[in-house]
Amino acid sequence: MADSVSMPTRTHFIRQIVQDDLASGKHTTVVTRFPPEPNGYLHIGHAKSIVLNFGLAEALGGVCNLRFDDTNPGKESPEFVESIKADVRWLGFDWGGRVRFASDYFEQLYGFAVELIEQSLAYVCDLSGEETRAYRGTLTEPGRDSPFRDRSVEENLDLFRRMRAGEFPDGARTLRAKIDMASPNINLRDPVLYRIRHGVIHHQTGSEWCLYPTYDYTHPISDALEGITHSLCTLEFEDHRPLYDWCVSHVSVPCQPRQIEFSRLNLEYTVMSKRLLTQLVSEQIVDGWDDPRMPTIAGLRRRGYTPGAMRGFCERIGVTKADNLVEMGMLESAIRDELDASAPRAMAVLHPLRVVLTNLPADAPAAVEARNHPKDEAMGVRELPLSAVLWIDRSDFEETPPKGFKRLIPGGEVRLRNAYVIRCDEVVKDADGVVIELRCTVDPDTLGKNPEGRKVKGVIHWVPAETAIHAEVRLYDRLFTVPQPGAGDRDFRADLNPDSLRVLSGAMLEPSLAAAEPGARFQFEREGYFVVDPDSTPERPVFNRTVTLRDTWAKAQDNAGQAGAGQGQGARSQRATGKKARSGDGNANANGKANGKANAKANAKAKHDAKQEGSGKGTDKAQAASAQGIGASGGVA
């Protein structure tokens, strides 16, 4: 169940218009609508519209309708209807009654078209689609009148009736508005109002109709029939507003809504075009519409985003008339802020290195206590089993440490979070010189207190080997390597990030996470925020990274040119340019179609190696050694 709705508090130009209309008495209540076409999954741009329409109506004591503009039966389906309803509910909104469909008004729309014909404001045209476009002219040349423009009212009524009866094939005739073929606004050059479509089954009306109204005709009249006071839409419909006003002014609808446009959401490092999103799915560049790398609401939900973070993000970016490109960091900041306050903490070792405590005191506690949240005592505490064999992250040990390294080194000390200070006494390597184990001693007087006479700066996380949970962790990153994929004439696939998904099949998690249900969110200390994936099972837990603890992307771009220095240090986990990498497969699952240009892949790879994040913390051989160590320790294999 979605968390409670936080009402919009910022004043923007649309809110001011609505408030002025209410104050002047022009309207006694505000009625808005969210009118998606059910031909795909909603994305974050739709979330902005949902928050605006539903949030504004609720904040001002009005109502918002959910209406499906289903005038294109060949591309629409009940699947999309249900997914859209689920997304609106998940965001925390409700339409307060029955769901509406434009197809509910097909009979009335037909009647209004007859009204237009009777007023000599519409005519049946026999031009083909190609001919209609040619007659329409260009931005610099006026259009030409159709040779059928002056048909009599009686002939038009007869032909329109026969169009409905199915007497003519697809494309043979259309009904067009009679407005102005010389208008500088091409939308007013006798736009098509109805077209013939045989052989399609409408998801609501079945095969009842073979005559379908266009969106530009249906939308304003549907608004008027529902008593919409303010019809809010994105800027690409600004040039359609004169046609919107023309439609509601020339038929006997009960009111004349006001259309107001606002800028659409353009977000860095992603694409919003339904065509491009469909291409990502159809070419299996991503693993479906709910792939966590997708900007769909379903994808963001699976990645771990919350309704509150989504609404907060939409509130932060505001509502303006000017187009702009929103930084991805704003979206990531919204979810970080929420999860920092709400997510319980846990420890997870993503790149395990075995540690043996050679002198763990016999009277050492069987478990140590850890707070579930450092700032919220109400979240309580949990117990972490303490044993002589542990896992630490491979990145927390260096034989030859760089300057400023404050974690474990040979002969050096570090504190295990919530437990003892340990010292590395011996480094165990395999025949190839790969570190496979550290032998350490415990300072028995440091449980819950600082050591005498010295200061230990480093604190690292760990998990007990015997009771650790063996899990799959999916490290998601931005789907594209550039802020505006496909800018200019470039194929947007050339900008795909080959490291947008890395799957770690050998991660070790603390045992308290064993009962975590799909959708549960956690902060893995020192790693980031994670959510339990729907694929997760008790036998095979799966966690998705929602976002890192800090914005590492900008720094990675700065370091990309120096990536060569980082190569060889990174353990290469599975990478997926396209489809989800397969668990347990040590090889990258690269989709050739997804790679685009080779230089894009090379640049992204350099970025990945420079970050030394995720799998880039050891070597393939070291990771294999760690895996062998799992069995040797008697832990979960």
Angle at 357 between CA 351 and CA 358, to 5 degrees: 140
| CA 623 remoteness from chain centre | 32
Pairing, β 542-548 against β 381-385: unpaired
d(CA 537, CA 523): 20
595: left (phi over 0), alpha (psi -120 to 50) or beta: alpha
46 known ligand binder = yes
Q: Phi and psi for 496 in degrees, rounded to 5?
A: -65, 145
**Which tokens is 109 given?**
């729309």
d(CA 240, CA 235): 10
The answer to whether the CB of 435 falls within 8 A of the CB of 409 is: no
Measured N-to-C along each axis, helices 215-225 and 106-118 cross at an angle, to the nearest 10 degrees, of: 110
44 known ligand binder = yes
264 known ligand binder = yes
274 known ligand binder = yes
Residue type, 413: E
Sheet with 63-68, strands from edge to edge, namely 31-34, 63-68, 100-101
Active-site position among 85, 149, 197, 264: 264
43 known ligand binder = yes
- Name the residue among 338, 382, 628 with its Cα closest to residue 514: 382
593 known ligand binder = no
Let me know if 466 is a catalytic residue.
no
Let me know if 37 is a catalytic residue.
yes
Query: Which stretches of 69-145 are assigned E, i.e. beta strand?
Result: 100-101, 122-125
DSSP for 199-226, written as a single string: S--BTTTBTS-SEEE-HHHHHHHHHHHT
Strand pairing partners for 356?
A: 389, 439
* Tally of residues, the chain: 637
Active-site position among 37, 115, 383, 398: 37
273 known ligand binder = yes
584: left (phi over 0), alpha (psi -120 to 50) or beta: left
272 known ligand binder = yes
The answer to whether the CB of 169 falls within 8 A of the CB of 35 is: no
234 known ligand binder = yes
The answer to whether the CB of 315 falls within 8 A of the CB of 9 is: yes
Angle at 46 between CA 317 and CA 238, to 5 degrees: 80
445 known ligand binder = no
580 known ligand binder = no
d(CA 629, CA 465): 10
d(CA 196, CA 488): 37
364 known ligand binder = no
419 known ligand binder = no
37 known ligand binder = yes
613 known ligand binder = no
214 known ligand binder = no
The answer to whether the CB of 470 falls within 8 A of the CB of 630 is: yes
Active-site position among 144, 164, 197, 274: 274
Angle at 275 between CA 591 and CA 219, to 5 degrees: 160
Q: Phi and psi for 153 in degrees, rounded to 5?
A: -55, -45
The residues annotated as belonging to the active site are 37, 264, 274
Residues marked as binding for L-glutamine?
A: 69, 215
Residues marked as binding for ATP?
A: 37-39, 43-49, 234, 264-265, 272-274
Residues marked as binding?
A: 37-39, 43-49, 69, 215, 234, 264-265, 272-274
